[in-house]
Amino acid sequence: MSTTMQKIGIEKVKHSKIDQVDFDNLSFGSVFTDHMLVCDYKDGAWETPKITPYQPITLDPSSKIFHYGQSIFEGMKAYKDTENKVWLFRPLDNFKRLNISAKRMAIPEIPEEYFMEGLKALVEVDKNWIPQKDGSSLYIRPFVFASGKGFHASPANEYKFLICLAPSGSYFSGKVKVLIEETYSRSANGGVGYAKAGGNYAGQFYPTQLAAEKGYSQVIWTDDNNHEYIEEAGAMNIFVRINDTLITGPTSDRILDGITRKSILQIAEDEGIATEVRKITVTEVVEAAKNGSLKEMFGAGTAAVISPIATFGFRDVDYDLPELKDSFATRLKKRITDIQFNRAEDPFGWRLEV
């Protein structure tokens, strides 16, 4: 979509709150920078975005977001290298995915220029907030929701597109224990699993709470049909290593087309690691765990990058994965983060300087 964008207006804060932040002890996504980007959709068009001080927003109680959950979001990061240069990782892919989600949720698509120029301008304004500690970065949350009024169950006529920034430490560290889920489903054929729609995540909370009561930190989602195939790990794509082959499921209506997932596949191929993109059955994973050919399982996503799974539970039995010295997870995480933080060549052209 081409637009003739006017200059993005910037209203800066009078007093930064950056001095109140303990950058050595950041959790994930709970401290926000001084500014945010706001863009309104009214009278059939997106208005030029503006950057304002970070602040609460006022909405009518009948706004459709509250009743029909018409909302979508993205998750990405900005990284600072040792020379204070600021980098984004494959931002155009987040933009494209936001509009794929928008289309599915009957939300008007965002013009590329508004997203890309708005994002760069916001990150530039708040660049002092990008943490430099190893493992930390600036988490970026673009989101769009129905602000238009009315109880009628139909798409709203007004929307808001915002971008907020959160300096963040590691998502979680260490290995995790996960449960293969056979009762609840995250997504279904013909559904919205491939979109980053807010409700997808709300629907995951209850089954994840039930798993937590049994001592598991995450759920491995299986297909809604027969719960025969493993599909995603919590809000991450899942990889399984059987012997020396790295396998991940194909993207579909039910599986999000993760940017980390596709980057890992490309890096693995570049590293000479054998990869397969195919359906993975629960049975083969359990069998591989029993006969020792299951070497690794990990989740992949922007927040945690790669999150190794230490144990998975299936039908009341726990299966432990071996502790490997030179795991694919460690190798691949190093390669991808070295590219993100500008510590290594970027042969794939993924980095974008702000």
Ligand X SMILES: Cc1ncc(COP(=O)(O)O)c(C=O)c1O
Closest distance between ligand X and the C-beta of residue 234, in Å? 8
Residue 196 CB, shortest distance to ligand X, in Å, is 6
Q: Which of 70, 101, 208, 260 binds ligand X (CB under 6 A)?
A: 260
- 31, two tokens: 């401290």
Q: Which of 34, 231, 232, 296 binds ligand X (CB under 6 A)?
A: 232
Indicate which single residue of 131, 258, 308, 313 sits in contact with ligand X (rule: CB under 6 A): 258
Query: 237, 248, 327, 337: which one contacts ligand X (CB under 6 A)?
Result: 237
Token representation of residue 24? 């050595």
The correct pick among 88, 242, 259, 332 for binding ligand X (CB under 6 A) is 259
Q: Which is nearer to ligand X, 63 or 101 (CB)?
A: 101
d(CA 112, CA 115): 5
CA distance 186 to 204: 6
Taking the complex as a whole, the smallest distance from the CB of residue 208 to ligand X amounts, in Å, to 12
Taking the complex as a whole, how short is the minimal distance between the CB of residue 227 and ligand X, in angstroms?
Answer: 17
At a CB cut-off of 8 Å and minimum separation 6, what does 87 contact?
A: 78, 79, 80, 81, 340, 341, 342, 351, 352, 353, 354
Q: By CB under 6 A, is residue 72 in contact with ligand X?
A: no
Least spacing, CB of residue 352 vs ligand X, in Å: 15
Q: Is residue 337 part of the contact set for ligand X (CB under 6 A)?
A: no
Q: How far is the CB of 7 from ligand X (least distance, A)?
A: 30
Residues between 287 and 306 that touch ligand X (CB under 6 A): 301-302
Single out the segment in contact with ligand X by CB under 6 A; choices: 107-115, 131-139, 235-243, 336-344: 235-243
Task: List residues bridging with 137 in a β-sheet.
Answer: 168
Burial of 213 (0-12, 13-18, 19+ CB in 10 A): exposed
Instruction: Map the footprint of ligand X across residues 158-217, applying CB under 6 A.
Output: 196
Of 63 and 204, nearer to ligand X (C-beta) is 204
Looking at this protein, which amino acid is placed at residue 128? Answer: N
Residues 6+ apart with CB under 8 A from 148: 63, 64, 156, 157, 158, 159
Q: Are strands 245-248 and 274-277 parallel, antiparallel or unpaired?
A: parallel
Q: End-to-end CA distance of the chain: give it in Å, rounded.
A: 22
Residues at the site binding ligand X, with contacts judged by CB under 6 A: 75, 196, 232, 235-237, 256, 258-261, 301-302
